[in-house]
Structure 1
Amino acid sequence: MGFFAQHDWEGRTYLGGWIELGATADAVSPSTGESLASFAVASPADVETATDLAVSAQRTWASTSPEERSAVLRRAAAILEDQRGVLERWLQDEAGSAPGKAAFEVGLVASELHLASATAMVPYGQVLRSGRPRLSLSRRVPVGVVGVISPFNFPAILAMRSIAPALALGNAVVLKPDPRTTIAGGLLLAAVLEEAGLPVGVLNVVPGGTEVGAALVDEPRVPVISFTGSTPAGRAIAERGGRLLKRVHLELGGNNALVVLEDADVEAAASAGAWGSFLHQGQICMTTGRHLVHESLYDRYVALLSEKAARIPAGPPASGAPLGPIIDAGQRDKVHSVVTRSVDAGARLTAGGTYEALFYAPSVLADVAPGHAAFEEEIFGPVASITPFSTTDQLVQLVNSSPYGLSIGILTGDAYAAFELAERLSSGIVHINDQTVDDEAQAPFGGVGASGTGVRFGGHEANIEAFTETQWVTMQARIAEYPF
C-alpha cells in the first residue's frame, strides 16, 4: 500500500500522483542531524501546475455525493488509526516530537478526519422567508481551491485541520508544508488520503520555501488561504492576499498567560504550569509563556516550577526523554536570545538557560516585568516567565497588555469567579482550572489581535464558514411579470 511504501514518494512529491520535479531536499532529524529521506522541491511554476490539477479535479469532486466524500475521509481515519505508528515515528524523527506528543497528535489528526466526514453530511443551507410568492433559500457552495500553508511544530494536525474540512465540503487543496516537516506534514497525509480513495488532483503537495508560499498566495485561482504560523509571516500573507481580495484565515502566535489566583492549589498550579510551558519544547502556539501569579503564592510557585524544570530532561525522542530538540539552530538561538535579553533587563534565571546541540533545557525566568523580552515576545521554546501581581485590576492590565490573544488559563479555587473574570480578558480561548494548551476537533479554535483572525477552525460551523461561500437562490413557478 502507498502509505507504507516509502519508495513511492522517495525523492518525489504528490502532484497529480507521485512525481519527480528535478530538485530534491533531505528530511533531516533535528535530534541526530541524519538524513531520513528525500523529497521533491517545488518551484513557483509547480504551484501553477498544482492549481491546474486542483481546478480540474475540483469540479468532479464537488459533484461527488456527500456520502462518498464522507466515506473517503472515514477510510482515511481508519487507515491512520490502524497504522498510527508510521506517522508517530515520522513525527518523532522529523519533528522532534516526544513519543507522547506524537501519539497525541496522531489522535488529533484522526479526530479531524472523523469530524470532517460528518461535516460532509450536515445541512448546508436554510429556507428563507420572502415577501414574494417564491421559494427563497441560501446554501453553502465550495470556494473551489483552498491553499493551505502549515508549520513545523504540529505538522500533521495543523495541515489536516484545514485539508479535511475543505475536502469534505467539495473543495480541492494545494498544500505547502513547512520544508522542515514535509513528510510528516505533507507527503504521509497525501499517502493516507490516496490510500483512502481520494481522486488524483484533489490534493496536491508543493514542498518548498517562502517563494513557493508566495506563489500560492498570489495564484488568482486560489480564493482562500489557510495559514498557521508566525505573526510576522501572517501579516505578510494577509497583506499580499488582501490586494487580491482573498479570504485569508490566520492562526498565528501567542504569548499566552497562565493566571494563578491567590486561592489556587499552588502545587497543582505548578504542575499545570510546567506542562503548559515545556510540552513539545514550548514549540506550540498555545504554550504558556507568561505565568502571572498572585504575590501571596509567588515565591512558592517560583520554587516549585524551578524544581520541576530542573528534573525534566531533554533528549532524542527515541530515548524516551519527555522533551525533544528545538527544530533547528536558528530557532534555538532565538529562544536563547529571549532568555539572555530578559536576564540582562533584570529577570532572574532560576532554572535552565543552557543547551547542548538542539536540546534546550527547560528554563524558568522569575521577576519578569513588562518590557522584558520574555514578557513581550513569543518565545517558542521551553521557557516559563513568571510575573507577580497583587490586584485583579493589575492582573487584567497585565494580561491584556500583550498584543497576542490566543489562549489563557486561570487556576483558582472559585471557578465561577474565574468565569466572570474571563469576560475582562482578551483571548479567543479561556481554560478555567487548566493550562493553556488544548485542542479538540469539534471545539472552536482561534485567536484575536496578533494571534490571528478569530475562529476559523474547529466544529462544523467554523469549518463551513471558512471553506464555503453563501449563495442566495430563489425559484418561482412562472416568469415574473414586469411593466417594461
Structure 2
Amino acid sequence: MTLLDDTSWHGKVFSDGWTTSSGGDAPVREPATGDELARTGIGDAADVDRAVRSAQQAQTGWARTSFEERAAILRAAGRVFEEQVDHLRDWIVRETGGIPPKADLELHIAAQECFEAAALTSQPLGEIIPSAQPRLSLARRRPVGVVGVISPFNFPLILSIRSVAPALALGNAVVLKPDARTSVAGGLLIARAFEEAGLPQGVLHVLPGGAETGAALVEHPGVPVISFTGSTAAGRKVGEAAGRLLKRAHLELGGNSALVVLDDADLDLAVSAGAFGSFMHQGQICMTTGRHLVHESIADEYVGRLVEHAQALPVGDPFREQVALGPLIDAGQRDRVHALVTASVDAGAKVLAGGEFTELFYRPTVLADVTVDTPAYAQEVFGPVAPVMRFATLDEAAALAANTEYGLSLGILSRDVMKAYELAERIPSGIVHINDQTVGDEAVAPFGGVAASGTGSRFGGAAANIDAFTDTQWLTLQAKINPYPF
C-alpha cells in the first residue's frame, strides 16, 4: 500500500493520531481542473491549543530519546520520500499545479532534509568555556520545546520539511500549519511519512488552516519559536506579534530578485537561465527572477531570444499533458498577476510575449521598456513575468540591482567570474549565484534573505538549524558549595 492510499487521513487533522478537528474540513482542489481530490481537516484556535498542550507533554520524552533513535526515525522518513516517488509525485503535481520534475525535486529535497537532520542529532551541542571560579563551565544548546511551523503553497513539501525535520532532530516537538490550499503536500504527507517512520505520538501535529489558525499558533504561550515562510506582508504581522510576545520568529519572506547579464555572457545560456528563473513553477517562487538587468549592448538580442523562449513554452495541465508551465494556484493569484501586468502596460511597458490567460493558465510574459517605477518591475509579482531593464555601466547595474526593498537572491552571468564576484560584493543579498539564475535550494546550504526578504539564514546547514531550533544555556558544576560573606 502506498503512503496516501490509507484513507484514515481523509477529512482529518494529524494531532495525536488522525482526528476530527473543531474547525471542520475543506476540499483539496486541483487548480488545473477545479476537481476535488480529497478533503482534509481544518484547524482552529481550539485545535491549536490542544495540539500545543499535547506537544509540550510529548516533547520532554522525545528530547530524552537517544540521538541514535531520533536519527533512525528521520532516516526512515527520508526513505519514505525516496521509495514512493512515483505515487507521491502525482499528488504534488495535481495539488500544487507544478510539473512532474518540480514534484521530483520536492521529494528529493524532502528526503535530503530528513537525512541531513538525522546527522544533526549527533552534532556537538556545546562547548567548555573558561571560568574564573574553580568549576566546570559549559555553554550548551537545548531544545526550545514546541516549534510552530507555518508554510506556504508554492513548494509546500520543501518549505514545511526544512523546518520540521531539523526541529524534530534537535529534540523539539512541532505543530505545523500548512496552507489549506496544499494541505496534503505541505502537511499530511509529512505526517504520514513520520507516522510510518515510527515517530512517537504527540511529537508532531499537522493542522491545515488559514490566517486565523496561523495567528493562534503564533500567539500561543506554549510556542516559543515560530518558523514562518510566506509573503512579506504576512511575515511583518508574524514578526510584530512574536516581538510583542518576546518569542523568536524566523521569517523567510518575499523577493524581487535580479539577474544581471553582463556584456560578455554566453547569450544562449543566459537566455535559457533567465527563462527558467522567471517561468519555473509559473513564477510562484520567492527566489524567482523578477528583474532582468541586461547590458545595453546585448539587450535587444536578449529580449528577442527571451520572447522566443516564452512563446515556445507549452502551458497546460501538468498531470495530463507534457508542459513547461501549469496553472497558478487560484483565481486570486491569477488576478493579482494580471493586474500588475495591466498596470505596467498602462505605465508605458510593452508586452512582447504573454500577458494573457485562460482560466488559471497564465502565459509566460516578457515586458520591455520598463522603468524602476513599472509595477511588475518594482513589486514581487509571484507569476510568470519577466521585466527587462537595460544598463550601461557596472555602477548602474549595481545601483539597479540594489534598488529594492528585498534582498533574497541574486544571479550574475559573465565569462569574467571575478568581475561578477566584485559586482556581487556591492549588492545586498542573502543568496548569490554567479553564472546561474536566482532559483536554487539545497538541504546543506544556509537559506534566507535580508531586508524585506526576512531575518537572514534561518534554514539549512547545521549551524543555521542549531541556532534556529535550540536555546543556549550556561551550566556550571563544582564539587562543593562556595562560602559567601552573607
TM-score after normalising by structure 2: 0.98
**1:75/1:174 Cα in 2 relative to 1: closer, same or farther (>3 Å)?**
same
The residue identity in structure 2 corresponding to 1:370 is V
Q: Is 2:15 aligned against 1:10?
A: no
Corresponding residue for residue 397 of structure 2 = 395
AA aligned opposite 1:127:
I
3-state DSSP class of the match of 1:380?
coil
In structure 1, the partner of 2:378 is 376
Runs of 4+ in 1 over 6 A off after TM superposition: none
Structure 1: which amino acid aligns with 2:11?
G
Match of 1:303 in 2: 304
What is the letter of the counterpart of residue 372 of structure 2?
A: P
Q: Where does residue 95 of structure 2 map in the other structure?
A: 94
Please name the residue that 2:156 is paired with.
Answer: 155
Q: Retained in 1: the 8 A contact 2:413–2:434?
A: yes
How far does residue 335 in structure 1 lie from its aligned partner after superposition? Answer: 0.6
Match of 2:230 in 1: 229
Contact 2:446 2:458 in 1 (8 A): yes
DSSP-derived class of the 1:481 partner: coil
Measured in 2, the distance between the counterparts of 1:2 and 1:390 equals: 56
1:247 paired residue number: 248
Answering whether residue 93 of structure 2 is matched by residue 71 of structure 1, we say no
Name the CA distance, whole Å, in 1 between partners of 2:75 and 2:380: 37
Deviation at 1:2, TM superposition (A): 8.0
- The SS at the match of 2:453 is coil
Deviations 1:95-138 (A, max 9, x none): 00101111111101111001000011111001111222211111
Do the aligned partners of 1:2 and 1:8 also contact (CA within 8 Å) in 2?
no
Deviations 1:415-469 (A, max 9, x none): 0111111111010000000000000101010000110000100100000000000
CA-to-partner distance for each residue in 1:143-196, whole Å, 9 max, x for gaps?
A: 000000000000000000000000000000001000100011111110000100
Taking the TM superposition and a 5 Å limit, the aligned residue runs for 1:243-282 are 243-282=244-283
The one-letter code matched in structure 1 to 2:475 is V
- 3-state SS in 1 of match to 2:32: coil
Q: Which residue of 1 aligns with 2:480?
A: 478
Shift of 1:61: 0.4
Contact 1:14 1:205 in 2 (8 A): yes
Tell me, in whole angstroms, the C-alpha distance in 1 between the residues paired with 2:44 and 2:378: 36
Counterpart position of 1:172 = 173
Counterpart in 2 of 1:453?
455
Instruction: Give the Cα–Cα distance (whole angstroms) in 2 for the partners of residues 336 and 197 of structure 1.
Output: 46
Closer, same or farther: CA 164–61 of 1 in aligned 2, 3 Å: same
Q: Find the counterpart in structure 1 of residue 43 from structure 2.
A: 42
Q: Distance in 1 between matches of 2:41 and 2:3?
A: 17
How big is each residue's C-alpha offset from its partner over 1:253-294, in whole Å with a ceiling of 9 and x where there is no partner? 001000001111111100100000000000000000100000
For 2:4 and 2:406, the matched residues in 1 are separated by 41
What's the offset of the Cα at 1:5?
3.2
Question: Is the 8 Å Cα contact of residues 2 and 191 (structure 1) preserved in structure 2?
Answer: no
Q: Distance in 2 between matches of 1:480 and 1:158?
A: 50
Residue 211 of structure 2 aligns to which amino acid in structure 1? T
TM-aligned CA deviation for residue 368 of structure 1 = 1.3
Task: Write out aligned runs for 1:307-346 (5 A).
Answer: 307-318=308-319, 319-346=321-348
- For 1:14, the aligned partner's letter is F
d(CA) in 2 for partners of 1:86 and 1:190? Answer: 16
State the AA in 1 paired with 2:49.
E
* Separation (CA, whole Å) in 1 of partners of 2:53 and 2:124: 30
Distance 1:252 1:390 in 2: 31
Q: What is the CA–CA distance in structure 2 between the aligned matches of 1:87 and 1:367, rounded to whole Å?
A: 43
What are the within-5 Å matches in structure 2 for residues 460-471 of structure 1? Answer: 460-471=462-473
Alignment of 1:83-232 (within 5 A): 83-232=84-233
Deviations 1:307-364 (A, max 9, x none): 0000001111121211110000000011111111111111111100010110000000
Q: 1:53 to 1:233 in 2, by over 3 A?
A: same
> What residue in structure 1 maps to residue 26 of structure 2?
25
The unaligned stretches of length 5 or more in structure 2 are none
Q: Is the Cα–Cα contact under 8 Å of residues 3 and 84 in structure 2 kept in the other structure?
A: no
Query: For the residues of structure 1 that align with 2:448 and 2:287, how far apart are their CA atoms?
Result: 10
Cα distance in structure 1, aligned partners of 2:139 and 2:3:
40
Any unmatched runs of 5+ in structure 1?
none
8 Å Cα contact 1:325-1:360 kept in structure 2:
yes
- What percent of counterpart residues are identical? 59
The amino acid that maps onto 1:418 is A
Q: Secondary structure at the match of 1:417?
A: helix
Question: Which residue of the other structure, out of 424, 427, 431, is the alignment partner of 1:425?
Answer: 427
Q: Conserved in 2, the CA contact under 8 Å of 1:27 and 1:181?
A: yes
Secondary structure of 1:290's partner?
Answer: strand
Scaled by the length of structure 1, the TM-score of the pair is 0.99
Aligned to 1:291: 292
Q: What is the CA distance between 1:391 and its match in structure 2?
A: 1.1
SS of residue paired to 1:450: helix
Q: Residue type of the partner of 2:430? A: G
Q: Distance in 2 between matches of 1:426 and 1:367?
A: 26
What is the alpha-carbon root mean square deviation over aligned residues? Answer: 0.9
Name the CA distance, whole Å, in 2 between partners of 1:5 and 1:134: 58
Mapped partners of 2:132, 2:212: distance in 1: 52
Q: Distance in 1 between matches of 2:4 and 2:38?
A: 14
Does the 8 Å contact 2:2/2:84 carry over to 1?
Answer: no
